[in-house]
């Protein structure tokens, strides 16, 4: 049932949820009040609600992770075309070679599609472990793409990479610690295979943002300039300096300020020139990751945003390289970036339904206090009667003061339980009135801006934060959250979204706002119709980092393709974990568990606690539960 549809527009919904700011042309709101995904960027789109209806008709339950292959294809295309334009404009002589860091999202489908979509650009891969290297070798067979090997390396890791070189792949070992060089030298001589060597540099430049510890002179990985010189000397000693081809650095996963990107490029370029002057052939400069995603749509220098766009990022890198190299006769190197987050973030959307709600409700305000009421209760009641726009902040402070005094007296036994209950009711009436008055304020004091969150209702979503959105809990990552339908109706509830884990941390209470973050989300009243929320830009890191909190497993995963005519195709369907699956992950044997329950039930039959027919129903329910989805099923 619609409310306020005559006075509320979908444009207003788009503004509230900021979709025009963070949607990057991939997401919009239709006139029918539904979120539309445009997998190719602008142009043809399809309603997320239509996709959900198609899934439920096919018998799939919420929650579900949607993957949009066409968005992944678009992201790779935009990245290469952006660098292509900058290279042409500045007459840069090297090539751009994108590289995808597998750790950002290691799912098989992601890796397969990146190598498929990136083939026309010779888009490569970065492996930071032996399993990732094996996965990369299985899917990337392009002799012109780079396979960058970062991270710690043992003999087996190095030998696999050397065999890749022998088979014609451009596999490059990046030396992260001084000890790794000797291992590479030893195995290459033993196998008689010339290695391609790179070195990771610790820059003095340190970026701002959440992951700034990745850069700087005290970063965990990489060699300082003195150690880089030692590496050069050692390669000269063993007559292998001709193997040194790449300089790599990494100053952060999400760099919000373009200035930091420029400064890092210039510093690394100086070191690159120095290595060429030492006699190393070089040829590749790997800038690592850092291309940020504008999660909150603010286009600002914040942890959840960036103050540049893709074209400005490409220009900043190419322009600074070209101008710095112009002072020397050093040939222009190929440019490599490991832009994983920006490549896959837009690729995935988490959808879930709301199961239940908990409303913020307060008792009716008494018309008068009991005759023997404590003086503090009278004082609190007096505040209620004088709340106005002029003194709202003062009343806010008074309410907290009197309530806290009453709590202290209750703890000491000088006030009764009913006194405390009455104080709570009066207190929340004051806070609710002050919150309402903030809507009329030209300037809202900081302490009053938290009131909507204090008064927010709770909507319980059919998902696990720890499985599907672990960064929300672990590092306060901000993701856009909004309803995918009913956007032609005015949202009338302020809400915090909780998951179905029995954990107080299992909630989303920071949201993208119009101009800043907010502590509650405007949502609609629940009706008999299912209410669906989407969490957007979740393609980077969330799937692999998810855990089994409360033994809630992987969600259903559906790959959606939309052709240029708008035809919808569900191209891949991966069923989420069953209860038996997740129990086996934590070392239970489902068959043994069924035997144990069967024994328990049979004992109950012998003791006349249940009938034989009851036993059959119990075992059917137990075995059905084992096969079922770990999430709530309708």
pLDDT digits (tens, 9 = 90+) for 133-170: 999 999 999 999 999 999 989 999 999 999 999 999 99
Phi, psi of 380 (to 5 degrees): -65, -40
| Confidence class for position 12, pLDDT limits 50, 70, 90 | very high
- Pairing state between β 481-483 and 348-358: unpaired
pLDDT, position 502: 84
Burial class (CB in 10 A: 0-12, 13-18, 19+), 634: exposed
| Averaged pLDDT of the chain | 92
Give the residue numbers annotated as catalytic, written as ranges.
Answer: 502
**94-346 and 375-452 share one CATH topology?**
no
Of 255, 316, 257, 311, nearest to 288 by C-alpha is 255
Out of 41-45, 297-301, 371-375, 581-585, pick the least confident.
41-45
Structure tokens at 111: 């890796």
Q: Which residue has the tokens 């996709």?
A: 51
Can you give the residue ranges of every domain in the chain?
A: 6-91+347-358+460-576, 94-346, 375-452, 589-627
DSSP structure class, residue 513:
-
Q: If you average pLDDT over residues 403-411, what whole number do you get?
A: 95
Looking at 249-307, which runs of residues are DSSP E strands? 254-255, 284-286, 290-291
Structure tokens at 488: 């032609």
Is-contact 240 297, C-beta < 8 A? no
Is-contact 252 215, C-beta < 8 A? yes
Of 295, 267, 276, nearest to 232 by C-alpha is 276
Task: Give domain 6-91+347-358+460-576's CATH architecture.
Answer: Beta Barrel (2.40)
pLDDT, position 372: 86
Using omega within 30 degrees of 0 as the cis cutoff, is the peptide bond preceding 63 cis? yes
Distance (Å) of CA 59 to CA 62, 552, 573, 622, 634? 10, 20, 12, 21, 10
List residues bridging with 247 in a β-sheet: 199, 285
Question: Distance between CA 31 and CA 47 in Å, rounded?
Answer: 11
- Whether 210 has a pLDDT exceeding 70, the answer reads no
pLDDT digits (tens, 9 = 90+) for 429-467: 999 999 999 989 989 898 898 888 888 999 999 999 999
pLDDT, position 219: 60
Q: What is the dihedral of CA 599, 602, 606, 609, to 10 degrees?
A: 110
Is-contact 548 586, C-beta < 8 A? yes
pLDDT, position 327: 84
pLDDT digits (tens, 9 = 90+) for 473-518: 999 999 999 999 999 999 999 999 999 998 889 999 999 987 778 8
pLDDT, position 208: 59
Task: Give domain 94-346's CATH architecture.
Answer: Alpha-Beta Barrel (3.20)
Question: Distance between CA 631 and CA 109 in Å, rounded?
Answer: 23
- Classified as helix, coil or strand, 237 is helix
Structure tokens at 608: 């006349």
pLDDT, position 116: 96
Distance (Å) of CA 21 to CA 31, 299, 377? 18, 8, 48
Is-contact 208 307, C-beta < 8 A? no
- Pairing state between β 170-175 and 146-149: parallel
Structure tokens at 280: 């190393």
Sequence-separated (6 or more) residues with CB below 8 Å from residue 148 = 99, 124, 125, 126, 127, 172, 174, 198, 246, 248, 286, 336, 338
- Whether 532 has a pLDDT exceeding 80, the answer reads yes
pLDDT, position 567: 86
pLDDT digits (tens, 9 = 90+) for 572-627: 899 999 999 999 998 999 999 999 999 999 999 999 999 999 999 999 998 999 99
Structure tokens at 110: 């992601």
Structure tokens at 105: 């999202």
CATH class as words, domain 375-452: mainly alpha
| Confidence class for position 218, pLDDT limits 50, 70, 90 | low
pLDDT, position 449: 86
If one compares 317 and 2, the residue with the highest pLDDT of the two is: 317
Q: What is the dihedral of CA 161, 163, 168, 173, to 10 degrees?
A: 20
- Whether 634 has a pLDDT exceeding 80, the answer reads no
pLDDT, position 362: 82
pLDDT digits (tens, 9 = 90+) for 84-127: 999 999 999 999 999 999 999 999 999 999 999 999 999 999 99
| Confidence class for position 547, pLDDT limits 50, 70, 90 | confident
């Amino acid at each position: 049932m619609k409310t306020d549809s005559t006075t509320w527009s979908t444009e207003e919904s788009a503004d509230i949820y900021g979709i025009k700011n963070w949607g990057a042309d991939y997401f919009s709101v239709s006139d029918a009040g539904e979120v539309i995904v445009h997998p190719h960027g602008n142009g043809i789109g399809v309603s997320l609600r239509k996709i959900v209806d198609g899934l439920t008709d096919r018998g799939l339950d919420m929650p579900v992770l949607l993957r949009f292959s066409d968005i992944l294809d678009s992201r790779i295309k935009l990245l290469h075309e952006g660098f292509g334009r900058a290279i042409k404009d500045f007459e840069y002589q090297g090539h751009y070679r994108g590289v995808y860091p597998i750790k950002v999202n290691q799912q098989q489908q992601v890796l397969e599609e990146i190598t498929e979509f990136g083939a026309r650009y010779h888009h490569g891969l970065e492996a930071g472990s032996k399993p990732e290297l094996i996965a990369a070798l299985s899917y990337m067979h392009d002799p012109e793409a780079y396979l960058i090997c970062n991270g710690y390396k043992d003999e087996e890791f190095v030998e696999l990479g050397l065999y890749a070189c022998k088979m014609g792949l451009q596999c490059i070992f990046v030396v992260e610690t001084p000890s790794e060089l000797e291992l590479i030298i030893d195995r290459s001589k033993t196998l008689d295979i010339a290695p391609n060597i790179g070195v990771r540099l610790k820059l003095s430049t340190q970026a701002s943002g959440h992951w700034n510890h990745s850069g700087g002179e005290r970063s965990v990985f990489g060699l300082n300039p003195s150690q880089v010189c030692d590496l050069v000397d050692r390669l000269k000693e063993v007559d292998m300096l001709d193997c040194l081809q790449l300089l790599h650095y990494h100053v952060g996963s999400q760099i919000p300020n373009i200035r930091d990107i420029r400064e890092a490029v210039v510093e690394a370029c100086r070191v690159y020139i120095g290595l060429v002057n030492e006699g190393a052939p070089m040829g590749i400069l790997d800038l690592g990751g850092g291309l940020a995603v504008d999660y909150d749509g603010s286009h600002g220098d914040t942890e959840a945003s960036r103050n540049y766009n893709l074209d400005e990022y490409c220009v900043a890198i190419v322009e600074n390289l070209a101008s710095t190299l112009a002072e020397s006769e050093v040939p222009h190197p190929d440019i490599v970036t490991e832009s994983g987050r920006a490549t896959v973030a837009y690729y995935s959307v988490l959808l879930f339904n709301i199961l239940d709600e908990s409303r913020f409700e307060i008792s009716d305000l008494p018309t008068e206090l009991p005759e023997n009421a404590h003086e503090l209760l009278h004082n609190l009641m007096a505040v209620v009667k004088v709340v106005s726009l002029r003194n709202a902040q003062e009343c806010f402070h008074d309410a907290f003061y009197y309530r806290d005094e009453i709590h202290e007296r209750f703890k000491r036994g000088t006030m009764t339980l009913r006194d405390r209950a009455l104080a709570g009711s009066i207190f929340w009436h004051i806070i609710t009135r002050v919150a309402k008055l903030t809507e009329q304020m030209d300037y809202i004091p900081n302490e009053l801006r938290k009131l909507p969150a204090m008064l927010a209702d709770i909507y319980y979503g059919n998902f696990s934060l720890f499985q599907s959105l672990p960064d929300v809990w672990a590092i306060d990552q901000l993701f856009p959250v909004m309803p995918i339908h009913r956007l032609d109706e005015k949202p009338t509830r302020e809400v915090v979204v909780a998951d179905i884990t029995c954990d107080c941390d299992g909630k989303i209470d920071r949201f993208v706002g119009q101009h800043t973050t907010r502590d509650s989300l405007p949502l609609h009243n629940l009706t008999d119709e299912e209410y669906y929320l989407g969490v957007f830009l979740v393609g980077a890191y969330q799937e692999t980092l998810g855990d089994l909190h409360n033994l809630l497993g992987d969600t259903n995963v559906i790959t959606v393709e939309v052709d240029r005519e708008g035809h919808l195709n569900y191209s891949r369907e991966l069923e989420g974990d069953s209860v038996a699956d997740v129990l086996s992950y934590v070392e239970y044997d489902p068959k043994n568990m069924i035997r144990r329950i069967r024994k328990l039930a049979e004992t109950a039959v012998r003791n006349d606690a249940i009938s034989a027919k009851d036993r059959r129903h119990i075992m059917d329910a137990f075995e059905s539960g084992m096969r079922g989805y770990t999430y709530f099923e309708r």
